[in-house]
Amino acid sequence: MKERAGAPQAPMRARIVAAFGRNFLADAGGAGPLPCVARGKRSEVVCGDWVLLRPGDPATIEGVLERRNTLWREDAWRSKVFAANLDLLLVVTAAEPTPNLELVGRALIAASAEDIEAVVVVNKSELPATAALLARLRPLADCGYRLLQVCARGQPAQAVEQLRPWLSGRVSMLLGASGVGKSTLANALIPGLQARTGELSQALDAGRHTTTTTRLWPLPDLPAGSCLLDSPGFQAFGLNHLSVSQLQHAMPEVAARNGRCRFHNCSHRGEPGCAVRQAVEAGDIDRERYALYLRVLQELLQACGHPTA
């Protein structure tokens, strides 16, 4: 038998920076992203995951380390984790294309339920219709969310200045409907990203210059560990894995009234002595936000087979 050159290399910790099918790129602290593959038939490895990598050609993912948190997306068939281990969610919206406030509201619920801080980024602030959008977003500011206004295309340097304090030392993700300007923001924050996006797509054999998969990039000029995830725009945000109690704690204006209703297990739908309903009637809780609460609640109850009357 031939003698092997050196002992087998030990697995190393690495972070997944791009996922495409069963092919991945991982950042193992080396010069560039390392191509790797998942073991086994089903790969549940997502962008932001910390994994144990066994060196090789290609390197193989031996296991996924415990996640601090996860975000889910949903289609007609199933829910799927699409990112993990985030510190901050930048929920991006804009006056054009037609704003999807449902998505914004749901993204904020998902972040809160996973203990991920979230801010709303209103992009394309130079558009006249931004004033109307800000008026519609007012209820979010009223219940404590920060709203940042930026113009990523026209004033990228200013946008970067505004976002930098939020991004420092954290893993942040841009999320929002298609066309709101997430990639434009990512490009402003990471000079040369456009070119690197092309290289990455090639490495993954995923076609060039397409924004079809979530990607993680280190942020330059910020403390080590500051990273940004750009994600493809999508419509449906996964919340069906939440419990009713998680939902009730994930909306600040509802959470503030938990325990104040007559019944301790009040669903805030129509029970007598409901502090949430009273706040809605009094105008202290926005009706649109309450309607969102009721819609998500209904979905959760349906998903777990409860009567929904």
Exactly one of 183, 197, 248, 267 binds Mg ion (CB under 5 A); that residue is 183
Residue 153's binding partner out of Zn ion, Mg ion, ligand GTP, none, with CB under 5 to 8 Å set by partner kind: ligand GTP
In the bound state with ligand GTP, the residue whose beta carbon lies nearer, of 177 and 300, is: 177
Can you tell me the distance from the alpha carbon of 108 to that of 105, in angstroms, rounded to the nearest whole number?
Answer: 5
Residue 274's binding partner out of Zn ion, ligand GTP, Mg ion, none, with CB under 5 to 8 Å set by partner kind: Zn ion
Residue 307 CA: distances (Å) to CA of 114, 237, 262, 265, 273: 26, 23, 21, 15, 22
Exactly one of 211, 240, 258, 278 binds Mg ion (CB under 5 A); that residue is 211
In the bound state with Zn ion, the residue whose beta carbon lies nearer, of 136 and 249, is: 249
Contact 47, 15 (CB under 8 A): no
Residue 178's binding partner out of ligand GTP, Zn ion, Mg ion, none, with CB under 5 to 8 Å set by partner kind: ligand GTP
Can you tell me the distance from the alpha carbon of 113 to that of 92, in angstroms, rounded to the nearest whole number?
Answer: 19
Nearest residue to Mg ion by CB is 183
Task: Considering only the stretches 8-16, 33-41, 211-219, 263-271, report the one whose residues sit in contact with Mg ion under the rule CB under 5 A.
Answer: 211-219
Can you tell me the distance from the alpha carbon of 248 to that of 91, in angstroms, rounded to the nearest whole number?
Answer: 20
In the bound state with Zn ion, the residue whose beta carbon lies nearer, of 154 and 273, is: 273
For the bound state, the minimum distance from the C-beta of residue 230 to Mg ion, rounded and expressed in Å, comes to: 6
Task: Considering only the stretches 86-94, 175-183, 212-220, 241-249, report the one whose residues sit in contact with Mg ion under the rule CB under 5 A.
Answer: 175-183
Q: Which residues of 251-269 are buried (b: 16+ CB within 10 A; e: fewer)?
A: bebbebbeeebeeeebbbe
**Contact partners, residue 242, CB within 8 Å, separation at least 6:** 109, 113, 250, 296, 300
Query: Pick from 75, 135, 128: which is nearest to 101 by CA?
Result: 135
Residue 123's binding partner out of Zn ion, ligand GTP, Mg ion, none, with CB under 5 to 8 Å set by partner kind: ligand GTP
* 6 C-beta neighbours (distance < 10 Å), count: 6
For the bound state, the minimum distance from the C-beta of residue 228 to ligand GTP, rounded and expressed in Å, comes to: 12
Task: Considering only the stretches 144-152, 204-212, 247-255, 298-306, report the one whose residues sit in contact with Mg ion under the rule CB under 5 A.
Answer: 204-212
For the bound state, the minimum distance from the C-beta of residue 218 to ligand GTP, rounded and expressed in Å, comes to: 19
Which tokens go with 157? Answer: 């340097």
**DSSP letters along 99-124, please?**
--HHHHHHHHHHHHHTT-EEEEEEE-
Residues contributing to the site for ligand GTP (CB under 6 A): 123-124, 126-127, 151-154, 176, 178-184, 211, 232-233
Instruction: Give the three-state DSSP class for 13.
Output: strand
The footprint of Mg ion (CB under 5 A) covers: 182-183, 211
